[in-house]
């Protein structure tokens, strides 16, 4: 009798040892498969960039002769020099100006609108908020023709100033959406104590709410900044001459000029990606957080 119990106990011990071992093997196998797939996706994500950077150092015909995957014969910077001597700088500067002006305007205007929507009690607050937020899904293409006509009649067509209005306007819905929910989280007591001290609504906004919303504004600056920096449709429609175009169109213009010279195009692409890479290295976590700001539960 005792023996059978012993045997059974042995067997269960064996069995548990077995399952532990099996689980361990399973775990290793699963990790192995996951790791192989992860490395595969790593290759898929990085290969185009390797292609781009490697070929940007090649001579025009070197790529045709030695193939796309060969290392460049020498670290040849001629392509970069030629691109930088051309008007790459002017595209870059245009982008910076448009970005700076639009972003400051957008953040200020959106903060102004979010303040009453988040903190005041008035009947129209909810419908106004709903109307603004509903505009998030509007395709810009429905506004393209009228905005094009307006810019023409206002004499803004083919200048970087034509871009600021649409960039600010199309950044408003998401910005108001995020800032309003951000400002709602600021404790009411702050406002009440300021009110007792005799602050009016405007002082309150500039002295309390705006400084307290700094981190929300930073997130929005990144989210909208990335979108504006990469924007194509308005920039392409509202500007025409190459000295008035922004960075996304630089690639377009160079492509027309050097379409057969692949290494040159790769140099332009590498240069246009560089500012974003630098930003990414400097502010990695902030940038990642900012770029997904649009994905808050709707």
Partner 1 sequence: MNEKNISILVQRQRSTRRAATIFLAPVAILMMVYIFYPIISTFITSTYKWNGISAAKEMTGLENWITLIKDTSFWIAFKNNLVIMVLSIVIQIPLGLALATFLDFGKKKLTIFKVIWFIPLLMSSVAIGFLFTYALATNGGMISTISKFFGGGNIDLLGNPKTALLTVIAIICWQFTPFYMVYFMAAFTNIPYDVFEAARIDGATRGQYFWRIALPLLVPSMKSAAILSMVGSLKYFDLIYVMTGGGPGTSTELMATYMYKQSFKTFNMGYGSAVAGGMFILITMVALITMKLLNGKKQEV
Of residues 117 through 146, those in contact with partner 1 by CB under 8 A are: 117, 120-122, 124-125, 128, 132, 135-146
**CA nearest to 205, candidates 189, 194, 197:** 194
Residues 170-189 binding partner 1 (CB under 8 A) are: 170, 172, 176
Residues 235-274 binding partner 1 (CB under 8 A) are: 237, 247-249, 251-252, 255, 262, 265-266, 269, 272-273
The sign of the torsion formed by the CA atoms of 278, 284, 288, 289 equals negative
Binding mask 19-58 for partner 1 (x = CB under 8 A): ----x------x---x--xx--xx-xxxxxx-xx------
The sign of the torsion formed by the CA atoms of 96, 99, 105, 110 equals negative
Nearer to partner 1, 184 or 233 (CB): 233
Say whether residue 116 binds partner 1 (CB under 8 A): yes
Nearer to partner 1, 1 or 36 (CB): 36
| Total residues belonging to the chain | 298
The sign of the torsion formed by the CA atoms of 227, 228, 231, 234 equals positive
Closest approach, Cβ 5 to partner 1, in A, equals: 26
Residues 267-286 binding partner 1 (CB under 8 A) are: 269, 272-273, 276-277, 280, 284
Residues 190-219 binding partner 1 (CB under 8 A) are: 200-202, 205
Binding residues for partner 1, total number by CB under 8 A: 91
Among the listed residues 104, 112, 126, 190, the single contact to partner 1 using CB under 8 A: 112
Closest approach, Cβ 133 to partner 1, in A, equals: 12
Nearer to partner 1, 1 or 277 (CB): 277
Instruction: From residue 129, give the alpha-carbon distance in Å to each of 116, 124, 153, 204, 209.
Output: 10, 8, 32, 21, 18
Residues 90-109 binding partner 1 (CB under 8 A) are: 109
Please tell me the number of Cα atoms within 13 Å of 250 on its side-chain side: 27
């Amino acid at each position: 009798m005792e023996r059978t119990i012993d045997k059974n106990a042995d067997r269960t011990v064996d069995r548990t040892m077995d399952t532990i071992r099996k689980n361990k093997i399973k775990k290793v196998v699963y990790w192995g498969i996951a790791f192989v797939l992860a490395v595969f996706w790593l290759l898929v994500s990085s290969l185009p960039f390797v292609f781009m950077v490697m070929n940007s150092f090649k001579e025009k015909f070197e790529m045709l002769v030695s193939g796309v995957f060969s290392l460049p014969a020498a670290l040849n910077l001629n392509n970069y020099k030629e691109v930088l001597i051309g008007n790459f700088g002017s595209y870059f500067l245009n982008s910076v100006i448009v970005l700076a002006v639009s972003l400051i305007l957008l953040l200020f205007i959106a903060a102004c609108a979010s303040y009453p929507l988040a903190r005041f009690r008035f009947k129209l607050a909810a419908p106004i908020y709903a109307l603004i937020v509903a505009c998030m899904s509007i395709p810009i293409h429905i506004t393209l023709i009228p905005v094009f006509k307006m810019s023409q009649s206002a004499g803004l067509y083919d200048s970087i100033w034509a871009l600021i209005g649409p960039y600010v306007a199309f950044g408003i819905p998401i910005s108001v959406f995020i800032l309003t929910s951000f400002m709602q989280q600021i404790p009411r007591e702050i406002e009440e104590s300021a009110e007792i001290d005799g602050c009016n609504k405007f002082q309150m906004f500039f002295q309390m709410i705006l400084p307290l919303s700094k981190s929300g504004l930073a997130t929005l600056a990144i989210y909208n900044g990335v979108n504006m920096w990469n924007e194509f449709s308005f920039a392409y429609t509202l500007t025409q001459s190459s000295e008035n175009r922004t960075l996304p169109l630089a690639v377009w213009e160079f492509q027309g000029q050097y379409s057969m010279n692949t290494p040159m195009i790769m140099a332009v692409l590498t240069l246009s990606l560089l500012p974003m890479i630098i930003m990414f290295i400097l502010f990695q976590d902030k940038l990642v957080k900012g770029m997904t700001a649009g994905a808050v539960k709707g």
